[in-house]
Structure 1
């Protein structure tokens, strides 16, 4: 067995378990997943998605505030975290809304959010009414020592449904240029430099974003970033034939972008890998491409795709644990991560077929349906 727990980590009881060839790792920390509750229970619930996360080794989940209602009332967060533990047996870490209703106009009640125990604030991928509003929001967040999570996107450029390239053009789909991400990212980085606010950039997708993040880190800006697991395995080629299960926002990019993401992961520019889990009901993907709902259900395939990165020589097993466990825990500010404990036992050689029956998530919307993947969690140990 390859034990990837630190020497100070509480070791689980492995009596009676065949551990030959297995990996024992800390609990996975997911920096972005939508559990569809509150407000969108037709797609999933804390119970269904909590079970899917837990059985796939994901015990800590960062929840964005774009629920219904928007997560902007700090007094309600304790109850939501308790419900996540009761219904799904997972640890929920909440991001509060940076602006009221995520409308980008008026600052949210950051004092109340801080008191409610948020790990940070964000306006998700939604824009601000003006750059001045964004600047004032960052300045105010800095006074509360709140980390800001960015999902870089310039709304005026992101009205399409696919990466602006050959595949989109061939299929007659409205394109989203990489500039939609990098223009927003450039502006946000400059404001981080001006305000000194600790920031995390989530789900970067393109080559120039990696270069900008690398430049900012070299300047010493207080930033981290992550990439969604599916961006490391899929490109816009997956959209061939109008494959709605590959319709996600931000979009799958080009082979050149994917190569840059992998290089950024290897050299430490990219700190973490998130699932960007977005479960959807069956009807959500039935409309014509571009009119259906964007999103990929990722909990069930996350570990297998991570194991594939190791088998392909992209990362070592130890580096993978840094990207999906240790670094995300630091980014989310989980100070008691090791004390909470738990562990995950993975069989890196176990093959399984992705199907609606083998997926635990209520959302079966994945472009990996029908494929045989290798590597799966065989047991999750709880603290």
Structure 2
């Protein structure tokens, strides 16, 4: 299949420049101011309409509920949602039933990701058996079976000795430990950050439950030399720990979610479970620290923590509803509107954090870039026309988002994966 994208604008440094892209056999063959008539011969022409043509976005943190909780999401619907948001590569967490904690389960799941997914899906394996106890998995066998990295996301590893041994084994295999940092004794069933918890009269989940475990793990990462990646940083105190670790030369990387960049616990004024996630939205000072951490390189990337739930899961009060919100379909547009259009971030920085850096840090050599010879994983965004985020337009089964109803720029026009159209906006 041969395609040519014409009338697109690509990033060249911080400038948008007109370029045409020739795609053949799933690869980018040419990027030129104009593709010649001879090279276009026999190609399907895609008119980008002067819109922004971007490398496909890369998300290292999504939850696809299959197998085990298909009412919330399936691999098909989750990957369609990713494509709708301009993502062409995602990394799926292992909190599934059964969890991919043994090679046979992992191999079956990878096959399912490949058959049902419309984007590239890389699969995490667990750190411990079923993510529940202190029995470590067979790291070497799971790496051989195709594990992307190891994570117990949703559950922090509570015993230091378990994490220490896990890091040693992962380091020997040059594999990353990717972790939800939460000390359960310190979080103690908490729901929201201090201000919102007091307003709504629910139990608090204090910042120290995140930062204390992050500090412990940073020390263990220093001792083992492992690549240790911290999921969804929420607290300014954790940012300080990561900054100090990087200055000390410890191999620590970190992600922040769109919702922690865009919202604080000041936004939770009523009992609305679409604002309930783990870690919770924290104070405005924390939000500003996360932004500063991105800008100074302390935080490496943006990841959505896309966490779909059924309507029933979220129909309860905030004290009892499920943790988590969707993110794949709203991430680029909300961040572009709030930060790029206001001059806080450049478009180049946003693409670095949402495509180039996650791919580079996790050695995804065929993702995150738009270059000749690489797979034609491409997103086309309309940066100019406002649109309202509507639940009826979500392709995810999960409609649990606090961003529904927002007016934004940066709508996805088309997403191509290996040169094939994975999403196309209906006009």
Smaller-chain TM-score range? Answer: over 0.9
Structure index of larger Rg: 2
Aligned pair 1:2/2:5, yes or no?
no
Alignment pair present for 1:316 and 2:339? no
Please report how far the alpha carbon of residue 265 of structure 1 lies from its aligned counterpart in structure 2 after TM superposition: 0.7
Runs of at least 5 residues in structure 2 that lack an aligned partner in the other structure: 1-7, 14-18, 22-26, 32-42, 419-427
Q: Separation in 2 of the partners of 1:129 and 1:348?
A: 44
SS of equivalent residue, structure 1 residue 96: coil
CA offsets per residue over residues 78-131 of structure 1, 9 Å max, x none? Answer: 442332233231111111111112124111111211111112112224244532
2:88 to 59, 62, 77: 59
2:190 and 2:209 map into 1 onto residues whose CA distance is 12
Q: Distance in 1 between matches of 2:357 and 2:46?
A: 32
Find the partner of 2:362 among 325, 329, 332. Answer: 332
Alignment match, 2:265? 236
Shift of 1:277: 0.4
Aligned counterpart for 1:42 among listed residues 50, 63, 71: 71
Equivalent-residue separation in structure 1 for 2:203 and 2:73 (angstroms): 29
CA contact (8 A) 1:192 1:221 kept: yes
1:33 pairs, out of 62, 75, 78, with 62
In 1, Cα distance between equivalents of 2:203 and 2:298? 31
In structure 1, the residue corresponding to 2:415 is in which secondary structure?
A: strand
Alignment pair present for 1:349 and 2:378: no
TM-score by length of 2: 0.85
> How many residues are treated as equivalent by the alignment?
382
Q: Would you say the 8 A contact 2:48–2:380 is kept in 1?
A: no
How is 1:43-122 mapped onto 2 (pairs within 5 angstroms)? 43-122=72-151
Conserved 8 A contact 2:101-2:137: yes
Rounded Cα–Cα distance in structure 2 between residues aligned with 1:273 and 1:46: 21
Q: Quickly say closer, same or farther: Cα 1:341–1:332, change in 2 above 3 A.
A: farther
Contact 1:76 1:116 in 2 (8 A): no
Give the alignment of 1:1-383 within 5 angstroms: 1-4=8-11, 10=28, 15-20=45-50, 22-128=51-157, 130-308=159-337, 309-337=339-367, 339-383=374-418
| Aligned Cα root-mean-square deviation (Å) | 2.1
Q: Distance in 1 between matches of 2:44 and 2:223?
A: 51
Query: Could you report, residue by residue, the CA deviation over 1:258-293 in whole angstroms, capped at 9, with x for unpaired residues?
Result: 000000011111110001101111111111221111
Q: Classify the secondary structure of the residue corresponding to 1:258.
A: helix
More displaced stretch, 344-353 vs 121-130: 121-130
Alpha-carbon displacement from aligned partner over 1:233-262 (angstroms, at most 9, x marks no partner):
011122211111111111001100000000
- Tell me by how many angstroms 1:5 deviates: 7.6
- Paired residues of 1:75 and 1:112 also in contact (CA < 8 A): no
Contact 1:205 1:261 in 2 (8 A): yes
Residue 66 to residue 147, structure 1, CA distance change in 2 (3 Å) = same
Please tell me whether the aligned partners of residues 214 and 238 of structure 2 are also in contact (alpha carbons under 8 angstroms): yes
2:93–2:153 Cα contact (<8 Å) kept: yes
Measured after TM superposition, the shift of residue 206 of structure 1 is: 0.9
Distance in 2, Cα, partners of 1:129 & 1:210: 21
